[in-house]
Amino acid sequence: MKTLSIYQVDAFSKALFGGNPAAVCPLEEWLPDDLMQKIALENNLSETAFVVGNEGRYHIRWFTPGTEVMLCGHATLATSYVIRHMLGDDSSKLVFDSLSGELSVRFKEEQIELDFPKANLQQGELSHEVANQLPFKPLDVMRSRDDLLIIAPDEQTIIDLNPDFTGLEKGIVRGVCISAKCNRPGTDFVSRWFGGPEVAIQEDPVTGSAHTMLVPYWASKLDQTKLVAEQISERRGRLNCELQNDRVLIAGYVALYLKGEIYIS
In DSSP terms, which residues pair with 106 in a beta bridge?
93, 113
- Is 47 one of the annotated active-site residues of the chain? yes
Catalytic residue, candidates 28, 29, 42, 47: 47
Q: What residues are annotated to the active site?
A: 47
